[in-house]
Amino acid sequence: MTRVLGAIVAVVLLMAHDVSDHDGWLIVATVGWTAFSLAAYGASVRLQRSPLAWLVDMAVVLELVYLSTDWRSPFYIFALTALILPATELPFRRAVGWGIMFTGGYLVVAIATQRLDSGTFERAIRLEIITTHLMIPIVIVLALGYAADLLRALRDERRRAERLAVQAERQRIAWELHDSAKQRVHAAHLVLSALDSRVNGANREIVDHALTELRAATADMDTSVAELRAPLDGRPVDLLLRERARELEVASSAAIVVRGGLPDLPPLVTTHAYRIAAEALTNAVRHADAERIEVELSADREHATIVVRDDGSGLPDEARPGSHGLPSMRNRAETIGAELEMTRGPGGRGTVVTLKVPLTHATEAAT
Amino acid sequence: MIRILLVDDHPALRAGLSAVLRAEPGLVPLGTAASEEELWPALHRTKPDVVVLDYHLPPADGLQLCRRIKRSIPAPGVLLYSAYADAQLVIPARLAGADGIVNKGAPANELYDAIRTVARGDRIMPPLSRELLDSAGERLDSEDLPILGMALDGTPEKEIARTLGIAADELTQRLDRMIARLKVEVPVPREA
């Protein structure tokens, strides 16, 4: 890093010339501050972006310049390194603001350490040197800020292009699924259903079974198509569930209440948690004849919990024919390492679906 | 005997439909068409009682095709065959003059019943809900609402034009505009 270079320059210059009567202490302070600031910035990304940290850093390096008792200081390069983070992290205009601030600070230090000199020639040279000293920070910030801005724009553009490509690909797959595969399944279902009334006994059972499977296949494809066309786009689970609840409320007579909230979850976990909860919600509306459905979202340090509770007819003893909902919910729960529990409500009425998502594990699974 | 023309762009469904309809006594599939270009000659050649028409027939628009089929003389019954949200299709389908809607996932006997119903001159459509009517009303100009009311009531176009005191051409244009606003968009992938 440039800071190390700045520190080396400062130390070498300090050793080569007698700058002040406390050179030893200045070397210790320089090396110390270099090590400390690098360690602190290395440890925390948030610190790297904190204006307060930049300000402290800038104050310390300017103080070193001041302590060296001359503004033509061995610490000049070292001091300049305090500008690198603001110049690369901030948008261009604000970065330039920091550059001007640094120049102002340096001017104050220069005035404070100025020694009176006589002679016009010497004064002219000094004027030129101080101007150079004051302009360099601005130039550095301009160059770094501009480059950082370009890099940011480039990165955003690439992300956008990637997102668009993924989106287009998903659209295409959804389209093929819908336009080709599903039409064929429809055709197979239609042909087979024509046979249904013409066969009897055991054969009839076989045909019915095949018809059920074909209908389930269509339903599966519809789900996949929906997922491909309307990806959740990084929206949080609670928001998505509230939207889904509003949609379902319009289409049914049940009253749906969504309470509480969840912390931000990684995208993969969000998708599965949402689809599980949405399926539970849909089941309550479609199959349980519920009048009131409650969705409770909560989280502690270790788990995010979603509870879907209804007052409907409760879980059937046997799965509905062609129902793929429950196995798919279990599969999803397994994928994100979550616990899924389905029980009857208090007094044997209704159904309670509880999904417990481990928070630490969830983060690992997504990364 | 009910004479039927099948219009669908997917070969598997055309073949399946033909086979299924041939197997049912009283129904005679006379031909199939895969696109708008094939539809008109087939229509003139076969003069069917009922056209089973795919709702989504790119690049043509199923509803506009339906309107044009219904304007031919003698007009066959049109049964829209759709893989999409049927309930939302009801209003634009009625405006386009369709006589029925059947989902592509329906079993064969439902399709037979629907074809027979349409051949008798009756309608077979999913029920029209309050919400659908409200949302359709919001998407249309208020001056078009009387047309919507009369069309849903089954009033013939000539009579609607006479009641509102407008020319038949103007009514046609306004109906086209209404259908365009209400039709169910089928998501088509962009050219990659």
Domain presence at residue A332:
yes
Give the residue from A175, A186, A229 with the most B CB atoms within 10 Å of its CB, the best one to mutate. A186
In a domain, A355, yes or no: yes
Report the alpha-carbon angle A30-A34-A39, nearest 5. Answer: 150
Q: Does A183 touch chain B (CB under 8 A)?
A: yes
Please give the model's pTM, rounded to 2 decimal places.
0.59
Tokens found for residue A263 = 């912390």
Q: Are residues A129 and A263 in the same domain?
A: no
Tell me which residues of chain B, numbers 110 to 139, contact chain A at a CB-CB cutoff of 8 Å. Answer: 111, 131
In a domain, A198, yes or no: no
Cβ atoms of A353 and A298 closer than 8 Å: no
A215: chain B residues, CB-CB within 8 Å: 105
What would the two tokens of residue B160 be? 């609607």
Q: What residues does each domain of chain B span?
A: 2-119, 130-182
Q: Where are the alpha helices (DSSP H) in chain A?
A: 2-16, 23-43, 45-48, 51-67, 76-80, 84-89, 92-113, 120-176, 182-196, 201-229, 237-251, 267-286, 325-335, 359-366
Question: Based on the structure, what is the number of domains in chain A?
Answer: 2
d(Cα B21, Cα B49) in Å, to the nearest integer?
14
Domain limit, last residue, from A107, A129, A157: A157
Does A134 share its domain with A271?
A: no
Give contacts of B188 with chain A, Cβ < 8 Å: 175
Answer yes or no: is A112 within a domain. Answer: yes
Distance CA A350, CA A230 (A): 31
Could you list the residue range(s) of the whole structural domain that residue A21 is in? 2-157
Domain end call among A138, A157, A176: A157
Q: Under CATH, domain B2-119 is a member of which superfamily?
A: Response regulator (3.40.50.2300)
Residues of B in contact with A197 (CB under 8 A): 109
User: In this structure, is residue A69 part of a structural domain?
Assistant: yes
Domain assignment present for residue A227? The answer is no
Distance of alpha carbon A274 from alpha carbon A247, whole angstroms: 15
Task: Decide which of A131, A157, A183 is a domain's last residue.
Answer: A157
CATH code of A325's domain: 3.30.565.10
Q: Report which DSSP code applies to B31.
A: E
Shared domain check, A147 and A6: yes
pLDDT tens, per residue, chain A with 367 residues: 677 888 888 888 777 776 666 777 888 888 888 888 888 888 888 888 888 889 898 898 888 888 877 777 778 888 888 888 888 888 888 888 999 999 888 888 888 877 645 556 666 777 778 888 888 888 888 898 899 989 999 999 998 988 888 888 888 888 888 888 888 999 999 999 988 878 888 888 889 888 888 887 887 777 677 777 766 666 788 888 888 888 887 767 778 889 888 888 877 788 778 888 988 888 887 777 788 899 999 988 888 999 999 888 777 665 554 445 677 788 778 777 889 998 888 777 888 999 999 987 444 444 4
- Residue among A148, A51, A43, A140 at smallest CA distance from A92: A148
As a whole number of angstroms, the distance between CA B77 and CA B80 comes to: 10
Do residues B56 and B79 make contact, with C-beta atoms less than 8 angstroms apart?
Answer: no
**What are the tokens at B70?**
């219904």
Q: Is A215 on the interface with B (CB under 8 A)?
A: yes
